[in-house]
Amino acid sequence: MTSKRANQWLASADLRPTRQRVALAEVLIGDGKHRHVTAETLFEQVKLGGEKVSLATVYNTLRAFCDAGLTQEVTVDGSKSYFDTNTYDHPHFYWDDTQTLTDAPADQMKITQLPDAPEGMEIGSVDVVIRLRKKN
């Protein structure tokens, strides 16, 4: 049962609902919750779901989703990129032990003052990553 949601999500960005894209979208937003994946983890998850999508396509598709504004790329540890289905500007928790990324409650963070953008520049986004480590 392919959720209508996934198809609408793709349609909203003028992306053709190919079998692979729908499968990926399904995993990403099928239940309406936000998700944080790497190309690799998404690849695994879609395979578990029984669909076959090549890893290259996962990469290309995530890139396409980002270009279309459906997802947001979050860089956290230099090696891999994470993709977040929540495109609203919000802080993240990065769990050092499991190397996973989750949303941090945005309402519990307040930045009351921000440096001014230098001459001729403007602020594109403010990326906040709160690194968590296991307490002792």
Partner DNA sequence: TTAAGTGCAAATTATTTGCAGTAAG
Partner DNA sequence: CTTACTGCAAATAATTTGCACTTAA
Q: For a second copy, which is the closer residue by CB, 11 or 55?
A: 55
Q: For a second copy, which is the closer residue by CB, 1 or 111?
A: 111
Q: Interface residues for DNA in 50-89 (CB under 7 A)?
A: 52-57, 59-61, 63-64, 78-81
Which stretches of the chain bind a second copy, using CB under 8 A?
A: 73, 75-78, 80-81, 91, 93, 95-96, 104-105, 108-118, 120-135
- Is 41 in contact with 26 (CB distance < 8 Å)? no
Which among a second copy, DNA, none contacts residue 63 (Cβ within 5 to 8 A by kind)?
DNA
Q: What is the amino acid identity at position 130?
A: I
Tell whether the torsion through CA atoms of 11, 100, 111 and 73 is positive or negative: negative
Q: For a second copy, which is the closer residue by CB, 68 or 74?
A: 74
The reply on whether position 93 binds DNA by CB under 7 A is no
Q: How far apart are CA 21 and CA 23, in angstroms?
A: 5
Q: How far apart are CA 80 and CA 8, in angstroms?
A: 29
Cβ of residue 32: shortest distance to DNA, in angstroms?
22
With 0-12 / 13-18 / 19 or more C-beta atoms within 10 angstroms meaning exposed / middle / buried, residue 132 is middle
Q: For a second copy, which is the closer residue by CB, 11 or 128?
A: 128
